Structure 1
Amino acid sequence: MDLEPIWLSIKLALLTTFILLLIGIPIAYWLSRKQTLPKLVIEAFITMPLVLPPSVLGFYLLLAFSANNALGRWLHEHFNVQLVFSFEGLVIASLIYSLPFMISPVKAAFGHLPKSIAEASYTMGKSRMQTFFYVLLPNIRSSVFTAAVLTFAHTLGEFGVVLMIGGNIPGVTKVASIAIYDAVEEMDYAAANDYALILFAITFIIVLAVFIFNRNAVKSPFE
């Protein structure tokens, strides 16, 4: 069995999770503050991948990234970047597709923290940045961990969006879910079963890790 699709899936999931941790937590915090109409519109767009069929999202991303359209042509002409049928395109598509899995749990956790925590920190002379990193984030660490694991697991099993954007290029865009599809198409059920079992085992382990972490973590009374 060729393990390259497995490693490519893990690489994609790790990279997507890392980037979403960097950009998702600040976005979630911003969305958890006072609700306004613009914020509701932005949150609606962020949440859309949860309800949209992956093929629909993948199709529109394919159109946007295509060199025949303005965005894709601009990227190609100015940066010599082609996102369609490339690993970079998979990463961007995965960021969009998995964004709500990072945002939703973290936003909910920030929203449940009493305002008095931040106010007490400000009273003690802490800046907003210090309060965010040393007071607020530690109080939602279990939610951040859960969001990261969900994002990783969701990215690991992507199919529709990945197929639309990346196609099926061995070593470049052929991730494990595509390898399973190919094996079934070729009626090679043994290979499909091998890939499926590996993904099943990885997913089970990371979900179990969430339960163990949340059980053993010393939780804040405000979570």
Structure 2
Amino acid sequence: MTEVHHEDVAAYALGLLSEEEQAAFERHLDGCGLCAGEVGSFAAMGELIKGVHPDDLLPQPADPQVESLLVRRAAAERRRRRFHRSFMTAAACLVVAAGVFLGVSSLTGEPNPDSIHSPARDLLMTGRTYAITDPATGVAGVVGLEDKGWGTHVALELKGVKGPLQCRLTAFGDDGRSEVVASWGVPEKGYGVPGSPDPLVLHGGTSLPQTELNHFTIQTTDGRILATVAV
């Protein structure tokens, strides 16, 4: 005959007994109100340890009590949380690294892999745009504008320019004020020309409100005007 102990209530509630032991304990429950009352409590605790993979468990201690099972479950959860935090930290580092790479690429004049969905591209697609064409210099492109609380967000797409040059985009207001919106270097191969068909795309800003803007100039640092666009 299988020997039954009161302590087996936890193992019974968690389904850890053999079929013979389970049958014996069920007979014990018929005459033991104490164990019968505790089965429900231990069964509820059992929900906490469902789905634990054997690999998640710590080495089995000598005394297989519910407390040890819950401790192992808590340890497994802590390991999962540590892994999750480590994973999210690594992902955040990758995002930051990608942002740094894109920023450096735009500053060094290297192709920007995100140029299709860059803030400059978005503005040229959604903002108010003005075309640039100067037959004398061969420079062409588009200026895009959108209102901001601090002034005007400005985007530029530029084609037909060869280097090496140092250039700047300058905004002029109706009152004669002027502000440099952006400055950049043009490599020898140029932008939007045979052999280098991709345009230059960049963005910047001016404190001048869009309603007070008069025109923009694209010029070299030595004062040569490459193009002018009225707004």
Give the TM-score, by structure 1 length.
0.19
- Structure ID, larger Rg: 2
Q: Which has the larger helix fraction?
A: 1
TM-score under structure 2 length normalisation: 0.18
